[in-house]
C-alpha cells in the first residue's frame, strides 16, 4: 500500500496510537518542541506516525522540512511514508523494493518545523539540537539516510556540533537525492539517470547494512 493516509480510518487509527509505547518518546519530544516554540515562532511541527519504528528504529531518514501533506490542515498531521504525496509515495516504494519495513525507519527533517520553502544555513543550525535530542531517544540506530542537500548540509553541522558522533554511535551515513519529483527535474537525460542510480544505490546499501547487522 502507498498513500494510506488517504484512508480516513487508517489516519484515525494512526492518530489514536500516536502515544503508543514505541513512538511516545518521539511525539513527546515533538510536544516539548512545540511548547517551547509555538507556531507563530519557527512554525508548526508534525508528529511521527506510529507506523514507524520510533525508539526501536534502525534507520533515521532525514529530509528537508515537513511537506503540506504532513500538516493537520489538509494532511495527516504526521511524518509518514504513507502520506498522500509523491515524496512519501516514492520513499514507500523504495523501502519496499529493498525490503525495509516502515517499522525499521524513523522519519525526521533537517528543519523539523513546517515552513514549506527552502531553508537557510541558519535554519539548518536550528535543526541540529532537535535532531540530537531525537537521536538520544533511539539507541538502536545504525543508519542515517540523508535525502537531499539540506539533509546533507545539516548533518555536516551535526558533525561540527558533536565531533565523532558517527563512530561513537556506530552509524553508517548514506547520502541520496531528495525523493521528490523535483529532484529528478533536469533536461539532461544522463544526469537524471545518474541521480536515479544514486538514489537506488543508497537504499540498496541501507538494506545491506541492516542485513549484515542482523546476521
- Contact present, 145 and 209 (Cβ < 8 Å): no
One-letter-per-residue 3-state SS of 156-184: HHHHHHCCCHHHHHCCEEEEECCCCHHHH
The CATH code of the domain at 4-213 is 3.40.470.10
Using DSSP's 3-state secondary structure scheme, residue 149 falls into helix
Tens-digit pLDDT profile for the chain (215 aa)?
679 999 999 999 999 999 999 999 999 999 999 988 766 677 789 999 999 999 999 999 999 999 999 998 899 999 999 999 999 999 999 999 999 999 999 999 999 999 888 999 999 999 999 999 999 999 999 999 999 999 999 999 999 999 999 999 999 999 999 999 899 999 999 999 999 999 999 999 999 999 987 64
**What does each C-alpha distance from 141 to 93, 103, 134 come to in angstroms?**
22, 12, 11
- Alpha-carbon distance of 196 to 22, in angstroms, equals 33
- Contact present, 27 and 55 (Cβ < 8 Å): no
Strand 78-79 with 47-48, pairing: parallel
Q: Which of 28, 17, 21 is nearest to 76 (CA)?
A: 17
pLDDT at residue 26, rounded to an integer: 98
- Contact present, 134 and 53 (Cβ < 8 Å): no
- Alpha-carbon distance of 90 to 165, in angstroms, equals 29
Q: Which helix (H) or strand (E) holds 79?
A: strand 78-79
DSSP state letter for 44: B
φ, ψ of residue 197 to 5 degrees: the values are -65, -40
- Alpha-carbon distance of 142 to 136, in angstroms, equals 13
- Contact present, 121 and 153 (Cβ < 8 Å): yes
Q: Map out the domains of the chain as residue ranges.
A: 4-213
Amino acid at each position: 500500500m502507498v498513500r494510506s493516509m488517504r484512508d480516513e480510518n487508517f489516519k484515525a487509527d494512526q492518530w489514536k496510537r500516536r502515544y503508543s509505547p514505541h513512538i511516545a518518546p518521539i511525539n513527546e519530544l515533538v510536544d516539548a518542541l512545540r511548547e517551547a516554540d509555538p507556531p507563530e515562532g519557527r512554525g508548526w511541527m508534525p508528529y511521527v506516525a506510529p507506523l514507524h519504528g520510533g525508539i526501536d528504529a534502525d534507520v533515521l531518514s532525514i529530509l528537508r522540512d515537513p511537506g503540506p501533506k504532513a500538516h493537520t490542515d489538509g494532511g495527516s498531521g504526521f511524518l509518514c511514508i504513507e502520506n498522500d504525496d509523491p515524496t512519501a509515495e516514492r520513499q514507500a516504494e523504495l523501502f519496499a523494493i529493498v525490503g525495509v519495513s516502515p517499522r525499521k525507519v524513523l522519519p525526521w527533517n533537517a528543519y523539523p518545523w513546517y515552513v514549506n520553502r527552502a531553508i537557510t544555513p541558519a535554519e539548518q543550525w536550528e535543526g541540529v539540537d532537535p535532531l540530537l535530542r531525537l537521536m538520544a531517544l533511539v539507541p538502536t540506530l545504525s543508519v542515517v539516510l540523508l535525502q537531499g542537500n539540506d539533509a546533507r548540509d545539516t548533518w555536516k553541522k551535526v558533525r561540527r556540533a558533536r565531533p565523532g558522533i558517527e563512530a561513537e554511535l556506530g552509524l553508517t551515513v548514506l547520502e541520496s537525492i531528495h525523493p521528490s519529483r523535483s529532484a529528478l527535474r533536469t533536461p539532461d537525460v544522463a544526469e537524471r539517470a545518474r541521480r536515479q542510480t544514486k538514489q537506488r544505490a543508497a537504499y540498496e546499501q541501507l538494506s545491506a547494512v541492516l542485513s549484515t547487522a542482523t546476521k
